[in-house]
Amino acid sequence: MVAKAGHNLTFGQRIRLALKPVSTTAITLLTLTAFMAPALAQPATCDPSYWEALKSKAWAEAQREITQNQNLIYKADSILEYSCFDNFLESLATVVHNQNALFSETNHWPSTAPTNMANALNILVANSLAPYIGGNFGHTYLGGRDGADYTVGGAGGGSAIYNCNVMAQVWSAAKCINFVDEPSLDDFFYLDTYDGFDPRGLPPGYACTADGRFAAQLSRARNDGDQYPREPFNMYENFFATDNCSAPPIATGVTVDRSNIGAYQEHICVNPGCAFDRGGACTATPP
């Protein structure tokens, strides 16, 4: 409200003009105060102990899956065994000897024996092959689950024919293995079973130590000692009893008042074919 040149303001206009800045300032202060006021503390929506129990149950289930999967995924066998690597050496030594002129394997000089290549292969490869396989893959096939194993030989220069079916044998054995073959290791165990027990026992001599955290995790998951309050729970199994109308009636809270019968509290009967008899029980014959 602005007074123009030559205009005189009335008394009311002067009052409103004087109060306008004060009103604007007051509204601004109230708005800022509302935004700056601290939010009221909200009540907790979840019991922390209940959350800890859920985490412990999830940990136990995940750890069981990891442990059992590692138990069923066998320790790898050596590809040197699967491919009968010593047979390769045998064939190589024989072929070199039969060629009669390859490398130093020749009969042209009497001082040169016809087994030089076989000796060289044994010294360079075969002599270290058996200790390597025995030290790193000393178990039988399939991580110790199959009874068969491989015996490493040397390059004797006897046969040029390579014949190896070990991989086919192992594949056949793996397909035919059942859980029942190792019930103490390969069964589907309860969570409690893993408390102090670890099924990862193969290959022999390399058993795993049980995870010591299972006891505490299972105790928390089961709420041992009532770490958080138990809620009442009723299965209402008696409502589905097989002896007809033995389940007690349930009050509805409704009062029925008939002129020819009199007032009574209404109830319902959950069993099929049963009705409330107004006397406090459910019967197969309605009143």
**Has residue 5 got a pLDDT over 90?**
no
**Has residue 19 got a pLDDT over 50?**
no
173 plus 260 within the same structural domain? no
**pLDDT mean over 140-161:** 79
DSSP-derived letter for residue 43 is P
Give the count of domains, the chain. Answer: 2
- What pLDDT digit, counting tens, does each position of 51-103 carry? 888 899 999 999 999 998 888 888 889 999 999 888 888 888 777 766 655 65
**Has residue 15 got a pLDDT over 60?**
no
Question: In the chain, pLDDT over 70 holds for what percent of residues?
Answer: 67
Which of these three, 150, 177, 204, is where a domain ends? 177
| pLDDT top residue among 25 and 53 | 53
Amino acid 248: pLDDT: 85
Amino acid 56: pLDDT: 92
Question: In the chain, pLDDT over 90 holds for what percent of residues?
Answer: 11
The reply to whether 81 falls in a domain is yes
Task: Report the alpha-carbon distance of residue 205 to residue 50 in Å, rounded.
Answer: 41
The reply to whether 267 falls in a domain is yes
- What pLDDT digit, counting tens, does each position of 95-119 carry? 776 665 565 555 555 544 555 677 7
Q: Please answer whether residues 121 and 89 qualify as being in contact, where contact means their C-beta atoms are separated by less than 8 angstroms.
A: yes
**Has residue 26 got a pLDDT over 60?**
no
**Has residue 124 got a pLDDT over 70?**
yes
Amino acid 29: pLDDT: 47
Task: Report the alpha-carbon distance of residue 60 to residue 194 in Å, rounded.
Answer: 9
Question: Which structural domain, as residue segments, surrounds residue 162?
Answer: 75-177
246 plus 167 within the same structural domain? no
**pLDDT mean over 18-35:** 51
Sign of the torsion formed by the C-alpha atoms of 162, 163, 169 and 171 = positive
163 plus 249 within the same structural domain? no
- What band does 1 get if pLDDT is binned at 50, 70 and 90? very low
β 282-283/262-268 pair status: unpaired
- What pLDDT digit, counting tens, does each position of 161-203 carry? 788 889 999 998 888 887 767 767 777 788 888 899 998 888 8
> Which of 1-15, 147-161, 162-176 is predicted with the least confidence, judged by mean pLDDT?
1-15
91 plus 166 within the same structural domain? yes
Amino acid 201: pLDDT: 84
Which of these three, 140, 162, 177, is where a domain ends? 177
Sign of the torsion formed by the C-alpha atoms of 276, 282, 284 and 285 = negative
**pLDDT mean over 132-145:** 88
- What pLDDT digit, counting tens, does each position of 28-40 carry? 544 545 545 455 5
79 plus 151 within the same structural domain? yes
Amino acid 180: pLDDT: 65
Which of these three, 156, 177, 198, is where a domain ends? 177
Alpha-carbon distances, residue 152 vs 23, 76, 80, 136, 205 (angstroms)? 101, 18, 9, 14, 22
Q: What is the pTM of this model?
A: 0.50
Rg, Å, the chain Cα set: 44
Could you give the 3-state DSSP secondary structure of residue 230? coil
- What band does 146 get if pLDDT is binned at 50, 70 and 90? confident
